[in-house]
Amino acid sequence: LAASFSTPMPTVHQSRAFQPLLRPRTCAILAMVGDSNEPKKEMNRPLGDNIVTQAIYSLEMMRVKSQSETPSEENGNWDGEPKEWAEEDSLAQKVSRISQVGPFAAFKQWVADSIAGDYDVEKVTARVDGTIAGSPVVMFSFTTCPFCLKAKDLFANELGIKAENIMIVECDEDPEGNAIRAVLGKKTGRTS
């Protein structure tokens, strides 16, 4: 995992929509360190939360692996989720549109926050903001994501944006990638 579960961090970030699903002791701590202007407290995630988070992360990685294409000359040696998912009329696109609003979006943010684990929200947010400010075009990507592959192709081949003008952060290869995804979800309302 990209996040260490035993290291205390200055802030803990969890989606308020799913706080009732957490243990009562955890809810009280999260409410105490939430979005208020009060000083943040350090804490470690309880063992039960670590187990749930590791299970969610493992299930997501198993899903990606089981649904990924096998690299071949025919598919351009693509080793990711099916490229067809990025087509406008695909079932994956329809599900994506539905999952970006209401309780589905809140659930996706909760999953992103859970997978991110404990992290320094201010530090990661500053990193995201600095990355965005430092390049004319920034893309936060996953190497196995067909939507990301399509966007990269659009930048290079249809828009003619030179590689040196694009900053691509591959979140699945970055030690802070899961935390970046959680921060981007809070900033944009979308975790993917």
Residues 101-143: pLDDT tens digits? Answer: 888 889 889 889 988 988 999 999 999 999 999 998 999 999 9
| Mean pLDDT, the chain, integer | 75
Q: Say which residue the tokens 């243990």 belong to.
A: 23
pLDDT at 93 exceeding the cut of 70: yes
Average of pLDDT values for 137-158?
Answer: 92
> What is the share, in percent, of the chain residues with pLDDT greater than 70?
73
Average of pLDDT values for 80-85?
Answer: 83
Three-class DSSP category at 133: helix
Residue 33 or 69, more confident: 69
pLDDT given for residue 37 in this prediction: 46
Distance CA 69, CA 82 (A): 6
Number of neighbours of residue 95 by Cβ within 10 angstroms = 12
User: Would you place residue 168 in the very low, low, confident or very high pLDDT band (cuts 50, 70, 90)?
Assistant: very high
Three-class DSSP category at 87: coil
Residues 11-52: pLDDT tens digits? Answer: 334 333 333 333 332 222 222 233 444 443 344 556 666 677
Q: How distant, in Å, are the alpha carbons of 21, 78, 140, 182 from that of 146? A: 32, 9, 13, 20
Q: How distant, in Å, are the alpha carbons of 7, 18, 48, 102, 110 from that of 22? A: 20, 7, 9, 20, 11
